[in-house]
């Protein structure tokens, strides 16, 4: 993740009660777009010049080469230590240490690039001008604003997860929920005719007329409303985005997701920081209930000002997922006749997959909220910067959260701190944190 502050903001709006004809139109295009996305992922995987067996062979070769290099590294280090022991003066030692051998590592062989699918792979001939694409053939009722967005998304996503898929660490992320990816020209924003305070979007996703649907803006920030007003006044297009269908019980709702540029002064920033005051985020060595990750603001009259981050919701979501997984393995039996594939297995696994996705979403939401809370507290308490302990160096079983993506929490806090005008420092060890919090380590503010 980059250290630079985020320049874009994700926005989503729920469509305001689209008519039955519009819902049927959206469902038709969404089924084609979702099917196209899954088929393109499968084509990328089947046309990949590298197979999992090739990756296993490469791993074996790299491991064998690394073993040989480790032996050579040990011999070079032993020879260097022997020559270093013969040095008498400090000047000779410093000169010898500069000639210390570097550790050699085995290099992976270059992997051929993936092959983008072409119409010939589907048995389709190109058009007279060569404009026929695989995505266009799989989405006959959508225009180029849809299937171009789908093809670009699938290409970027497969290139990003290709290595993990070939190593068997990740599966292809086939989509199950209906969604429509579109380019910026596929959506137009304007004000409603009966009320200028409300907005509606025009969906230009096929060769037919533009479909206008209202969007709900209740609870949106002033910056979001100003952005919509600019688009409506200039008849401009928003950005690339996604239209997805969400099921809430028996009710189906459609929502549209887009992005915009962040406006100056949209996020709070520290105005008058106190010199030397720092917010220190760390995990105590003695983990107590309610104090997994704590924040100390110091110096404040030589006594740290402490508050803790809430973490019970993460543990609750994890326990719920584990309980569903154990019940699935206890009550669901696979036989040789059925259960390995088909609709029966999908129905049996539905609750488990839903719980897993719920736990992942709760984790991502917690990281965003916790990092924002830390930065807001640093701004409110007039700190100059944030110091974060590198929790990835700690043993997971000694922390109440256990196995947790601490690096994501640290990086998100760093990004938001830099955006707010705070300094950020990452401490490698808890001993350095203890010295920083020790009484008398710095003068009182």
- pLDDT of residue 424 exceeding 90, the answer is yes
CB 248 within 8 A of CB 354: no
Confidence (pLDDT) at 338: 46
- pLDDT score of 6: 56
- 70 domain-assigned: yes
Residue 85 predicted with pLDDT over 50: yes
Contacts 24+ apart (CB under 8 A), 157-165: 157/41, 158/41, 158/44, 158/45, 158/114, 159/114, 162/48, 162/114, 163/111, 165/45
Q: Is the pLDDT of residue 112 over 50?
A: yes
Task: Answer whether 111's CB lies under 8 Å from 59's CB.
Answer: no
pLDDT at 1: 44
Average pLDDT over residues 198-226: 91
**Among residues of the chain, what percentage have pLDDT more than 70?**
86
Q: What's residue 445's pLDDT?
A: 39
Range of the domain at 89: 53-98
Q: Is the pLDDT of residue 218 over 50?
A: yes
Q: Choose the final residue of a domain: 98, 130, 163.
A: 98
Residue 299 located in a structural domain = yes
Token match 């995505």: residue?
135
- Least confident segment among 41-50, 267-276, 361-370, 435-444: 435-444
- Inside any domain, residue 212: no
- d(CA 79, CA 75) in angstroms, rounded, equals 6
Domain end position, chosen among 42, 74, 98: 98
Whose structure tokens read 């005719």? 193
Distance CA 67, CA 41 (A): 36
Q: Specify the number of domains making up the chain.
A: 2
For 174-201, the DSSP string reads: ---S-EEEE-GGGEEEEE-SS-TTSEEE
More confident residue, 215 or 440: 215
| Better-predicted residue by pLDDT, 179 or 90 | 179
Q: Please give the residue that has the higher pLDDT: either 35 or 318.
A: 35
- pLDDT reported for residue 444: 39
Mean pLDDT along residues 304-312:
87
440: Cβ contacts below 8 Å, ≥ 6 apart: 302
Residue 271's pLDDT is 80
| Residues 407-425, mean pLDDT to the nearest whole number | 91
> Which band of pLDDT confidence, cut at 50, 70 and 90, is reported for residue 377?
very high
Q: Is 154:37 a contact under the CB 8 Å cutoff?
A: yes
Give domain status of residue 327, yes or no: no
What is the pLDDT confidence band of residue 129, given thresholds at 50, 70 and 90? Answer: very low
pLDDT at position 243 is: 94
Q: How does pLDDT run across 383-415, given as a tens digit for each residue?
A: 999 999 999 888 888 888 888 899 999 999 999
Judge whether residue 135 has pLDDT over 80: yes
Distances (CA, A) of 274 to 251, 313, 386, 392: 52, 34, 13, 30
pLDDT surpassing 90 at residue 242: yes
Using pLDDT thresholds of 50, 70 and 90, give the confidence band for residue 343: very low
User: According to the model, what pLDDT value does residue 37 have?
Assistant: 92
Q: Give the CATH number for residue 307.
A: 3.30.420
> Residue 237 domain-assigned?
no
Distance CA 289, CA 278 (A): 25
pLDDT of residue 90: 83
Query: What is the model's pLDDT at position 255?
Result: 93
First to last CA, the chain: 34
Q: Is residue 420 assigned to a domain?
A: yes
Task: Determine the average pLDDT of the residues in 415-425.
Answer: 90
pTM summary value: 0.71
Residue 399: partners with Cβ closer than 8 Å, 6 or more residues away: 283, 287, 292, 391
Q: Of 98, 128, 159, which residue constitutes the final position of a domain?
A: 98
Q: What is the DSSP letter of 148?
A: H
- pLDDT(307) > 50: yes
Q: Are 295 and 409 in contact (CB under 8 A)?
A: no
65 or 346: which leads in pLDDT: 65
Flag whether 248 is in a domain: no
H or E segment to which residue 279 belongs: strand 278-282
Average pLDDT over the chain reads 83
pLDDT above 80 for 325: no
pLDDT score recorded for residue 421: 87
347: in domain: no
Question: Of 426 and 301, which is predicted with more confidence?
Answer: 426
């Amino acid at each position: 993740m980059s250290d630079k502050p985020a320049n874009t903001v994700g926005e989503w709006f729920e469509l305001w009660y689209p008519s039955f004809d519009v819902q049927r139109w959206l469902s038709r295009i969404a089924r084609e777009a979702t099917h196209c996305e899954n088929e393109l992922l499968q084509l990328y995987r089947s046309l990949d010049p590298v197979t999992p067996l090739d990756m296993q062979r490469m791993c074996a070769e790299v491991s064998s080469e690394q073993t040989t290099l480790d032996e050579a590294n040990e011999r070079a280090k032993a020879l260097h230590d022997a020559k270093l022991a013969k040095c008498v003066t400090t000047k000779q030692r410093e000169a010898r240490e500069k000639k210390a051998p570097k550790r050699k590592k085995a290099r992976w062989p270059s992997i051929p690039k993936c092959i983008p699918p072409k119409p010939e792979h589907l048995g389709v001939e190109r058009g007279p001008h060569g404009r026929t694409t695989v995505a266009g053939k799989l989405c006959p009722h959508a225009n180029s604003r849809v299937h171009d967005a789908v093809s670009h998304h699938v290409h970027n996503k497969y290139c990003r997860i290709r290595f993990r898929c070939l190593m068997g660490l990740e599966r292809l992320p086939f989509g199950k929920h209906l969604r429509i990816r579109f380019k910026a020209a596929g959506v137009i924003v304007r004000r409603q005719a009966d009320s200028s305070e409300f907005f509606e979007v025009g969906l230009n996703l096929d060769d037919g007329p533009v479909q206008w649907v209202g969007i709900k803006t209740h609870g949106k920030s002033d910056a979001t409303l100003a952005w919509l007003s600019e688009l409506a006044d200039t008849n401009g297009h928003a950005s690339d985005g996604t239209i997805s269908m969400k099921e809430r019980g028996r009710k189906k709702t459609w929502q549209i997701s887009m992005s915009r540029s962040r406006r100056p002064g949209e996020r709070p920033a520290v105005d008058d920081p106190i010199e030397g005051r720092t917010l220190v985020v760390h995990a105590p060595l003695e983990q107590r209930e309610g104090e997994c990750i704590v924040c100390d603001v110091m110096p404040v009259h030589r006594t740290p000002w402490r508050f803790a981050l809430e973490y019970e919701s993460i543990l609750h979501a994890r326990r719920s997922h584990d309980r569903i997984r154990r019940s699935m393995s206890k009550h669901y039996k696979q036989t040789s006749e059925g259960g390995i594939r088909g609709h029966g297995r999908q129905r049996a696994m539905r609750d488990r997959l839903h719980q897993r996705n719920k736990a992942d979403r709760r984790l991502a939401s917690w990281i965003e909220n916790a990092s924002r809370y830390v930065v807001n507290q640093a701004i409110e308490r007039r700190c100059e910067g944030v110091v974060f302990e590198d929790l990835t160096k700690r043993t997971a079983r000694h922390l109440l959260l256990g196995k947790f993506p601490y690096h994501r929490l640290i990086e998100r806090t760093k990004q938001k701190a830099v955006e707010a005008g705070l300094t950020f420092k990452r401490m490698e060890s808890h001993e350095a944190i203890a010295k920083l919090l020790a009484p008398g380590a710095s003068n009182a503010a």
